[in-house]
Structure 1
Amino acid sequence: MHVHDHEHDTPRDVTDMLRDAGLRPTRQRVSLAEILFSQGDRHISAELLHEEAVAARVPVSLATVYNTLHQFTQAGLLREVAIDGNKTYFDTNVSDHHHFFVEGENFVMDIPGEKVGIGLVPPAPEGMEVVRVDVIVRVRPKSQR
């Protein structure tokens, strides 16, 4: 597992980061990595990353963005946060933590790992191992009564 020192991530060359993760630093990967990792920890959907790439004049298709995000995730550079099975966010913070999901706003926020206590994790099925437990706490603004 790749652990990143987030304080010092940005000045470090993304090409080195990709190479360290075992990915060939193609122009598209480097461009997308620069957009992804230059702003500190963030949660981004493929669609939003594609919009940012287009705005930054990076010529990539949405399919390429999806593929690249999945490659980065498999390489341990991103963490996938799946919500409802149809909404997937990619998290640049791969440390142990959980998430608030703001309903109606499609917005994801971090919860530090130590703020969530998990009492009982079932033993993994035969031949399997538990990778991690993802907790998604759904929140919404209080209704103004």
Structure 2
Amino acid sequence: MAVVADLAIETRLRMAGLRPTRQRVALADLLFAKGDRHLTVEQLHEEAAAANVPVSLATVYNTLHQFTGAGMIRVLALENAKTYFDTNVADHNHFFVEGPNEVLDIAMSNLEIDNLPEPPEGMEIAHVDVVIRLRPIQR
């Protein structure tokens, strides 16, 4: 089963214009094996270590940015100085749960965005990211 998954990952990397190196394949397999999710460089590095994939933190960082540049994932930068990488590249928005720093998807059908400002001349709006911050109710 892992061989079939690796072939699919290799094909996906090639289609994105990336050479399927051993490290890219291993990191992509870890990243995409669990469906849509949000994780940091450090979290993927920890998963790689737990799976006995020998990669440095810098390699994970560089690989995630290569995946982003190739359109395979997208970046979600939050105010808390953490950068999350989102495996769901379709238009959608997020809840951010303060404390555990958890990111959750919001379905686009649940949110309407109206009255956006006109972009400057020669520019167009590429995407609107909405992050709704949550915290437990204080009693």
Say yes or no: TM over 0.5: yes
8 Å CA contact retained: 2:6, 2:25: no
Runs (4+) of structure 1 exceeding 4 A deviation are none
> By percentage of residues, which structure has more helix?
2
Match of 1:124 in 2: 119
Q: Is the 8 A contact 2:6 2:29 kept in 1?
A: no
In the superposition, the TM-score normalised over structure 2's length comes to: 0.92
Per-residue deviation, 1:128 = 2.3
Q: From 12, 31, 39, give the equivalent of 1:36.
A: 31
**Map of 1:78 onto structure 2:** 73
Q: Distance in 2 between matches of 1:11 and 1:120?
A: 45
Count the aligned residue pairs: 135
List aligned pairs for 1:102-141, cutoff 5 A: 102-141=97-136
Structure 1 Cα separation of the partners of residues 41 and 19 of structure 2:
20
Cα distance in 2 between the residues matched to 1:123 and 1:44: 33
> Is it true that 1:45 corresponds to 2:32 in the alignment?
no
Code of the residue aligned with 1:97 in structure 2: it is H
Gapped regions of structure 1 (runs ≥ 5): 1-9
Corresponding residue of 1:18: 13
Give the CA deviation at 1:139: 0.4
User: Which secondary structure does the structure 2 equivalent of 1:142 belong to?
Assistant: coil
Match runs of 1:44-63 below 5 Å: 44-63=39-58
Matching residue within 84, 92, 98 for 1:97? 92
Distance 1:91 1:41 in 2: 7
Cα distance between partner residues in 1 of 2:80 and 2:67: 19
Q: Deviations over 1:98-123 (max 9, x none)?
A: 00000111100000112111112212
TM-score (norm 1): 0.88
Q: Which runs of 5+ in 2 are unaligned?
A: none
TM-aligned CA deviation for residue 127 of structure 1: 2.6
CA gap of 1:11–1:34, structure 2 versus 1, over 3 A, is closer
Taking only aligned residues, the RMSD between alpha carbons, in angstroms, comes to 1.5
